[in-house]
Structure 1
């Protein structure tokens, strides 16, 4: 009972502040959640596999995977010269040489710009339209430029950006050796394995030249981006963050309290972490033009005098005449450069590059390497902690059709750089980070580390004793106990990387039974939806593995058995992976999610978020009639 009390104290003591004590509905919800906690704790006590110290499974490498990661054709954005440009002082200029190169002279064109502002959280609007005839100061970060001929034909349209420090109205303080800048570069759907193969220059420079620390046991705690990023930014689960009524999370309170500038650049409009962590108002926020680019009235193209038209290609990779990831990196770089010696929190998140096609990740290697090299040679890393990380590995696509892809999707990239002066003054941090490289770590730990950096909590801490209940999040500056289990770290079973498996024949009767059971679960889900989804049938089992759950020595019951099956269904030829556990009474139980591991394209076009955003997950299962 003492250990239970300690567990509740460490993991859930802060639940009180999520609820108004005068609200009876929230009281009931608190009681419900507490019951769930009790049920989970009691259940986990009997599940020794969850509470066993982590032993990472060996990842079998196959050379055939490298063929999957090769780019079959060269990928380029349709390059054209911009008709306007920003200088470093925030003035917008006509680019006369580009205009002439397109066959025009200045007297034939009228160029007009408008400032781009957010309109709510999901829309953008144009204000203060102005004809550009001479260099003009723009008191904002974003403009949309349209150039027309004398007969009103549009021959140029594009977004332009410039980090304008004058829009910041808060007092800022300088960075110091103790009050470090924090720069985060996140790349969606990038496992440690994928990064090593597709970002070799970046990782070599970061981890060998700059001596950043690779955290090779970093494990996801949720299925997709949001739960993993929310945990890293707030130290909370997605549900806890949504229910929170405590205002800004502690990390963002420190940003404001310690007078940091804050910048966030992203490349995918639905990405919502700032909104969900109750901090939607970054001072510099690239979202304005990302959202605008998805609105039909905003085009991006250039047309020459001879009617040659250059438009954006590769919609998921390109933004006008540049790669999206380059826009994200450059906007972050401008924040770093223009605020010079001021305290900076810069968060860059690249979604589109590797999300659907892991082979495209290699397109960002030179650019990420260049950013790091620039920061190093320019001295921008002197008082900076830099985090290179991801949310999870590839969840679907060609890579997950290989065993190594499915095994490494739970192990996203995480590597941490600290300035040499900090490591020399606090040698225990260096020692612990080297040790923690092979330990089980999570986004909750990353959050505690970021909080330590903000609050200058660099002093050595007492090691955890063998009998103490471990907190959910442990700063990476502390020694992570080797006894830590997935249960200790709040990693659910189907994301736990600590299990070992053995292959089993796909024709095995129990394997076939398991696949049929999972297909029935999919059909059960889609049959309850308001959408017209066809009933799925099992085509074949592609692969199967078996994992035996350790037997409870206090009983005479035989151990339960878990099967991990990968199978294909018709119609749509969807490929799925799921875990099915059989108890001693041979009763089947689905463990965790059913993961779609190949792309579904527009097969689920009838599943609309406008009906209910809660149905979004059905897209991976529904083959629309």
Structure 2
């Protein structure tokens, strides 16, 4: 048996030997060169052996053979078409309430936060006040307490400082976005401490007005959420977004990378998270030189917001440095760093406590809270204040929530009604009149047991994307709306969403614009441009690992071939860990959890093939069988998913090996973000 591992996900092959195929142009050149050589040989033959006709005939015969070889003996050009009469890709129809998934679905208890009354607040105009209701309930007067606030000031992208405490006489205007507020009694005992939110319109640039042509764009992103997952965990939100706001949900929206970073980079830059397209992909770098679409909107006179929670794991900070200069006019990261500074121990243990909550162990105060507030409430409050402060101004807001959904998707339903309330406020307060509203995710659940079900393996590849357009826009551009509805039923990607947002920014609402350029489909096609049903995953820049357009059938988990694939994968993992074997345990195969045979939908289309001699002599190779194997390794208990190409029951090539459950603290002894998926620290 021949086994060849493909380590391209970690090691890049620096020296490659390439055998280039001969193109038609090269073949013609070769024929021309060969004819010249033959002519020269003929001349020399005639010159030195005029009487030798046999040699002349031999040369002519060789010439004919060479010509026939170049003309008719080209490599076989077998053509295949997708065995689907409706389209190249049949989008999978997966039941959101699949029995296997519903076994893992449960409803969390109502979240309980600290029962500390709020002594202070900042109103929507930016003025800080004492809370008269709290003072009354606590039987206190203004003279009984001493209250202060401190500005939260950003220090690069991974730290904040709290400025000098300020005693205030209300109402006092707050000239920053976040403050630490405290109240003490006359004896100096702390009665209250919290972090308050404001949006201070500090930008000096000229901000243009939004209009029916110059639309604002608001993005509410939720990490690790498939469209089906949203139907399960956010049913009220999805119903309101689709039924009331008229949101169009894209059933073919497909991820282009494994985790958040390689999916958000194309969404925000239009480029692939690859060093061949961008200066650096990850590591200890700053991302200020990335061509984020925030900068495009900002240059066009928009005010911008970038809000992402969970600072240790945010997209541009996980194992990287983030930004030297904030990427937007308003930036939520200092708020979360302020929380960490105020509660360093509790914040560090949040994920431990959340794990216990996921096991239905009741905690005094939930890890989803910061003191007396739900964290996602604070997130949405900042979003609302940004929208409200810049009412009727052109806005671009990109917001991304991680903590509530990344590891434990069942907690997401806690926020369902809160999302609905937020959307209702946007609509009824007129903020959606000239706004494109997007509800979306980067991928489905990657690290839970749901991923390891047959339905979950499809869902992880197909994140949520739903877009609501202003009512007047629908009436003015009905063809564009029809086009988007059409596109909701074909393959789409983050590259397409970037192109769509770019169209909104530059007001490209021309119905006649074509999606095909120079006879080819571009990788990213705006959702305003009709995407052909014949588009393939390759056309769209979707790697085979992430393409959902396949069929699979369960096979015997104990078969010799399946076990060989699993064992070969463990060998490959240990080879990847060779440089850190002094830190990481050697893994061994434990058992196969699931095995699937993946089959292609293609068949040979003989009627469209060009004639060659080889087509008569050779039959096309059968598609290599491809297996998807989910196996468990010891001693870590890690679950790994691997694809393997198989021919004649021999494993020809192993694909990338992806971990499908959390590694937690198992790999804290290594810094490499790839090896963390595999290492079990000794």
> In the alignment, what sits opposite 2:572?
521
Matches within 5 A, 1:418-437: 418-437=469-488
> In the alignment, what sits opposite 1:217?
252
Listed as ranges, the gaps of 5+ residues in structure 2 are: 1-11, 24-76, 282-286, 348-362, 607-614
> In the alignment, what sits opposite 2:629?
565
Q: Distance in 1 between matches of 2:243 and 2:626?
A: 40
The change in CA–CA distance for 1:400 and 1:140 in structure 2 (over 3 A counts) is same
Does residue 1:605 correspond to 2:657, yes or no? no
Q: Distance in 2 between matches of 1:399 and 1:564?
A: 16
Q: Give how far 1:386 is off.
A: 0.5
Query: Which range moves more in the overlay, 133-142 or 389-398?
Result: 133-142
Does residue 1:485 correspond to 2:520, yes or no? no
Which residue of 397, 403, 428 maps to 1:352?
403
> In the alignment, what sits opposite 2:184?
148
> In the alignment, what sits opposite 2:291?
249
The question of whether the paired residues in 2 share the 8 Å contact of 1:159 and 1:300 is answered with no
Q: Give how far 1:47 is off.
A: 11
Matches within 5 A, 1:185-204: 185-204=220-239
The question of whether the paired residues in 1 share the 8 Å contact of 2:158 and 2:337 is answered with yes
State the aligned residue count: 573
Q: Give how far 1:254 is off.
A: 3.2
The question of whether the paired residues in 1 share the 8 Å contact of 2:515 and 2:529 is answered with no
Which residue of 283, 296, 302 maps to 2:329?
283
> In the alignment, what sits opposite 2:265?
230
> In the alignment, what sits opposite 2:72?
none
Which residue of 277, 295, 300 maps to 1:258?
300
Which residue of 592, 596, 599 maps to 2:659?
596
Q: Distance in 2 between matches of 1:195 and 1:78?
A: 29
Instruction: Report the aligned-residue RMSD.
Output: 3.3
The question of whether the paired residues in 2 share the 8 Å contact of 1:147 and 1:155 is answered with yes
Does residue 1:164 correspond to 2:239, yes or no? no
The change in CA–CA distance for 1:112 and 1:48 in structure 2 (over 3 A counts) is farther
Per-residue CA shift, 1:155-181, capped at 9, x if unaligned? 43211111122x121111111100001
Per-residue CA shift, 1:504-534, capped at 9, x if unaligned? 0101111111111111122222232276221
User: What secondary structure is seen at the aligned counterpart in 1 of 2:673?
Assistant: helix
> In the alignment, what sits opposite 1:313?
365
Listed as ranges, the gaps of 5+ residues in structure 1 are: 1-28, 302-310, 610-614
The question of whether the paired residues in 1 share the 8 Å contact of 2:555 and 2:597 is answered with yes
Q: Distance in 1 between matches of 2:280 and 2:344?
A: 36
Matches within 5 A, 1:17-56: 53-56=88-91
The change in CA–CA distance for 1:48 and 1:192 in structure 2 (over 3 A counts) is farther
> In the alignment, what sits opposite 2:92?
57
Q: Distance in 2 between matches of 1:162 and 1:562?
A: 54
Q: Distance in 2 between matches of 1:164 and 1:300?
A: 29
Q: Distance in 2 between matches of 1:581 and 1:330?
A: 50
Q: Give how far 1:78 is off.
A: 2.7
The question of whether the paired residues in 2 share the 8 Å contact of 1:463 and 1:478 is answered with yes
Q: Distance in 1 between matches of 2:117 and 2:664?
A: 33
Q: Distance in 1 between matches of 2:556 and 2:517?
A: 41
The change in CA–CA distance for 1:33 and 1:359 in structure 2 (over 3 A counts) is farther
Q: Distance in 2 between matches of 1:234 and 1:79?
A: 43
Q: Distance in 2 between matches of 1:96 and 1:133?
A: 14
The question of whether the paired residues in 2 share the 8 Å contact of 1:108 and 1:150 is answered with yes
Which residue of 462, 470, 475 maps to 1:411?
462
The question of whether the paired residues in 2 share the 8 Å contact of 1:85 and 1:160 is answered with yes
Does residue 1:619 correspond to 2:676, yes or no? yes
Q: Give how far 1:598 is off.
A: 2.2
Q: Give how far 1:86 is off.
A: 0.7
Q: Give how far 1:584 is off.
A: 5.4
The question of whether the paired residues in 1 share the 8 Å contact of 2:81 and 2:603 is answered with no
The question of whether the paired residues in 1 share the 8 Å contact of 2:247 and 2:466 is answered with yes
User: What secondary structure is seen at the aligned counterpart in 1 of 2:152?
Assistant: strand
Does residue 1:586 correspond to 2:621, yes or no? no
Greater Rg over alpha carbons, structure: 2
Matches within 5 A, 1:374-453: 374-453=425-504
User: What secondary structure is seen at the aligned counterpart in 2 of 1:479?
Assistant: coil
Q: Give how far 1:602 is off.
A: 2.4
The question of whether the paired residues in 1 share the 8 Å contact of 2:440 and 2:464 is answered with yes
Q: Give how far 1:63 is off.
A: 2.5
Q: Give how far 1:188 is off.
A: 0.3
Does residue 1:136 correspond to 2:172, yes or no? yes
Query: Which range moves more in the overlay, 141-150 or 48-57?
Result: 48-57
Does residue 1:505 correspond to 2:556, yes or no? yes
Q: Give how far 1:71 is off.
A: 2.2
